[in-house]
């Protein structure tokens, strides 16, 4: 069965720290890797990565994919209390079907940023 | 443009009752999904649909049913509610195509408690 594993499961840092969240995967027919941020409600989309080595960046957040080693990292620099959330990693597959559907989620990393 | 609309936001059910969670999207997305999220467990796929008239079971379909009579609507029915169905439910949709594939737009979620 395909799987996505995120680490750490939870993390507590202080404002201004830099954090790195990890996502490794074993997925057949890989198509894309996505990062979502979930605060109190629904997950919101951050990045989609399809090619190795190309960094995606949005403000203080950045992400990169390594398709050879089958992992991705999400970096957050100069963290703020508003970055406190669950960060979800998901891997999309090319061929739809089966009980896992075409998008497999990890369990998430809960980030808490203290003032 | 409302995106994905879920109702109700909160509901308390007694064991054995039935109910329907409503989901509608106005983005003309062909793919729709129902997930449940339990604490520390990530998102589990219940059912999904690749288009009107087509539905497939996800990882945890037992105790649920869906229908997709239109592109816009994808209701989730709980028959004979059980305490194990206490969870937060998310409806989501996406479009096909390389640029948009796997990028889910989520509804705000429905918190269901079965007592």
What is the distance of C-alpha A58 from the center of its chain? Answer: 14
CATH number of A3-114: 2.60.40.10
pLDDT at residue B96 in the model = 67
| A114, A16 Cβ separation under 8 angstroms | no
pLDDT at residue B97 in the model = 55
Of the candidates A32, A48, A107, the beta carbon closest to that of B42 is on A107
Per-residue pLDDT of B36-54, as tens digits, reads 999 878 899 999 998 899 9
What is the distance of C-alpha B6 from the center of its chain? Answer: 8
| B16, B83 Cβ separation under 8 angstroms | no
**Residue stretches of chain A with pLDDT short of 50:** none
Region of poorest pLDDT, from A26-30, B13-17, B84-88 = A26-30
Q: B32 or A41, which is more confident? A: B32
- Distance, in Å, from the CA atom of A98 to the CA atom of B74, rounded to the nearest integer, reads 19
How many Å lie between the alpha carbon of A94 and the closest alpha carbon of chain B? 9
- Portion of chain B with pLDDT greater than 90, in percent: 77
Smallest CA–CA distance from B90 into chain A, residue: A42
pLDDT at residue A99 in the model = 64
- Is residue B65 pLDDT above 60, yes or no? yes
Count helices and strands in chain B by DSSP H and E runs: 0, 11
Q: Which residues of chain B does A106 touch, with a Cβ-Cβ cutoff of 8 Å?
A: 42
How many Å lie between the alpha carbon of B103 and the closest alpha carbon of chain A? 7
Smallest CA–CA distance from B104 into chain A, residue: A45
- Is residue B7 pLDDT above 70, yes or no? yes
Q: What mean pLDDT is reported for chain A? A: 92
Q: Which residues of chain B does A43 touch, with a Cβ-Cβ cutoff of 8 Å?
A: 43, 90, 104, 106
Q: For each of the domains in chain B, give its residue range(s) and CATH number, in order of start.
A: 4-114 (2.60.40.10)
Structural domain spans, chain A = 3-114
């Amino acid at each position: 069965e395909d799987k996505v594993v995120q680490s750490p499961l939870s993390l507590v840092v202080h404002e201004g720290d830099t954090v790195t969240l990890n996502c490794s995967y074993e997925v057949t027919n890989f198509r894309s890797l996505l990062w979502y941020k979930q605060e109190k409600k629904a997950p919101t989309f951050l990045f989609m990565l399809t090619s190795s080595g190309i960094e995606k960046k949005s403000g203080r957040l950045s992400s990169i994919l390594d398709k050879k080693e089958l992992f991705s990292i999400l970096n957050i620099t100069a963290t703020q209390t508003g970055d406190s959330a669950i960060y979800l990693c998901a891997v999309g597959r090319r061929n739809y079907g089966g009980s896992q559907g075409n998008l497999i989620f990890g369990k998430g990393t809960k980030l808490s940023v203290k003032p | 443009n409302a995106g994905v609309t879920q109702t109700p936001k909160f509901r308390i059910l007694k064991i054995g009752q039935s109910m329907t969670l409503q989901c509608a999207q106005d983005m003309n997305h062909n793919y729709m999904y129902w997930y449940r999220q339990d604490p520390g467990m990530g998102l589990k796929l219940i059912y999904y649909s690749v288009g009107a008239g087509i539905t497939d079971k996800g990882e945890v379909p037992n105790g649920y049913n869906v229908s997709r009579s239109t592109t816009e609507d994808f209701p989730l029915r709980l028959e004979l509610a059980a305490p194990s169905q206490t969870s937060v439910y998310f409806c989501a949709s996406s479009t096909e195509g390389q640029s948009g594939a796997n990028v889910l737009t989520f509804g705000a979620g429905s918190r269901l408690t079965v007592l």
